[in-house]
Amino acid sequence: MLRIDNLSKRYGDHIVFEGLKHAFAPGCVALCEEDSTGKSSLLGIIAGAIAPDGGDVLIGGHSLRDAPQLARARLAYVPDNCMQFPGQTGRGLLEQAALAKNAPLDDAILDLARRLGLEPHLDKRFEQMSTGTRRKVYLTAAALGDPAVVVADGPSNGLDAQARGVLADVFKTWARDRVVLFASHDPELVQACGATTVNVADLR
């Protein structure tokens, strides 16, 4: 479902990683290392938000380099920074994501928003939301369509205890038939969703 093939990334003279190769089967995988190990860069590359210096990513069998639209159609991404669109409302982002994925904004999606405690905030602009509320919008959007891969950078950051419990349950459900790859310093989340932990340097 997800394969990284000889990925490399550098910033100036600093080599972040080189020659990463790994095939991910369905399940939860957590990158739990300390900072400055390349976690966010790797997740951003897999999500198509950061260009690699070499290599390729295959999502659902589609090359992100050669067939980016097909690859991104099978991907859901929760970035570390959920403030890309300060003036947009939560509902507006969900509608935009549903249109991009050609997926309905149906009762199941709205029920996830309700379980996360997001429903009262959907018509607020992102600049009016807390960090945790912004993240809840992106987590709800990740449920749209039929992604083969869900990538999340710090998915529990800013979430209250109830929402963290819902997130763990959602990750476990998704992991039955898709790859859930996330970076986190939240050991309770890692344990609750039964994630396998890996280090970026070991992905060779």
Residue 76 neighbours by CB under 8 Å, 6+ apart? 141, 142, 143, 144, 145, 147, 149, 150, 151
pLDDT at 36: 64
Neighbouring CB atoms inside 10 A of 28's CB total: 23
Q: What is the DSSP letter of 89?
A: B
From the options 3.90.226.10, 3.40.50.300, 3.30.70.920, 3.40.1110.10, give the CATH code of 2-85+146-202. 3.40.50.300
User: What are the sequence ranges of the domains in the chain?
Assistant: 2-85+146-202
Looking at residue 84, its pLDDT comes to: 87
pTM: 0.93
Write down the pLDDT at residue 204: 73
- Average pLDDT along the chain, 204 residues, taken 10 residues at a time: 94 92 96 80 95 96 94 94 93 95 92 95 96 96 95 95 96 96 93 93 82
